[in-house]
Amino acid sequence: MPKLNQIIAVEKSVKSRAFQELTEAHHALQKPALLSGISRTYRPKDEEGETLPPESTRVQAKAEEIIRQTAQIMGNLFDVTATKDWANNEAKADVVVGERVLLRQVPVTYLLFLEKQLTDLHTFIRKLPVLDASESWTFDPSTDTYATDPVQTVRTKKIPRNHVKAEATDKHPAQVEVYYEDVTVGYWRTLKFSGALPAVRVNDLLTRVQKLQQAVKFAREEANGVEVTDRKVGEQVFAYLLES
């Protein structure tokens, strides 16, 4: 008995061939010249008349014959697709990660869906924001975010000062130079917060989704290895369609 993966492998080529031959049949039936034939013979009026050879054109396409061929081609496609779809209802497998059975007896159609969703999820996780590695972070329950240790910095202010370069005399005023001095006036206490994730967390999520992706692929291959029963529906369908 054939297996489901073998039916899946040939279905595409059967579809392609059926579509091609159906298109060719359709085009042939749209050409009146291929459906037409003629046979002409010439008889002179009397024995002294000119003799001409007979003329004939053979019918190259017969609608009924093309219908029968089309029914055979499409019937084969109907059979292959029916065999696959009926088998899909029976093809099931467990999704196992390590020794842990996550999902039991999952239909192959759902495994295909799950495989696609996990590909999208892998992309999503791979692009998650990661905490800046140049900082030291700890989780802060009060803000439900990650926070750095507080850092204290000084706030300064420029204060003008006078520098007497020369004392005043009875003839000259004092020579005073103004300069500015940075004076500490306060302190900043700074904490940084972030809603990003530690790199180890993102890597762990990626590893888990990759393991699940692999498990789903294994399950799909196992499910597709089920033996199938050939379904013959094409003959019944076209027996009705072509009933005279």
pLDDT tens across 18-30, in order? 888 888 888 888 8
- Inside any domain, residue 143: no
Would you say 158 and 181 are in contact if contact means Cβ atoms under 8 Å apart?
yes
User: What pTM did the predictor assign?
Assistant: 0.67
Q: Which domain holds residue 130?
A: 93-136+196-224
> What is the arithmetic mean of pLDDT over 36-64?
86
The per-residue pLDDT for 113 is 94
Does residue 125 share a domain with residue 77? Answer: no
Does residue 71 share a domain with residue 7? Answer: yes
- Inside any domain, residue 56: yes
Nearest 10 degrees: CA dihedral of 100, 102, 103, 109?
-110
Would you say 157 and 109 are in contact if contact means Cβ atoms under 8 Å apart?
no
- Inside any domain, residue 160: yes
Which strands sit side by side in the sheet containing 193-194, from one edge to the other?
Answer: 137-140, 145-148, 193-194
- Total tally of structural domains belonging to the chain: 3
Does residue 25 share a domain with residue 3? Answer: yes
- Inside any domain, residue 145: no
Query: Is residue 172 very low, low, confident or very high in pLDDT (cuts 50, 70, 90)?
Result: confident
Tokens 């040939």, residue? 10
Does residue 86 share a domain with residue 98? Answer: no
The per-residue pLDDT for 174 is 77
Tokens 């999952």, residue? 106
Query: Is residue 215 very low, low, confident or very high in pLDDT (cuts 50, 70, 90)?
Result: very high
Cα–Cα distance, 63 to 70 (Å, whole number): 10
Does residue 217 share a domain with residue 114? Answer: yes
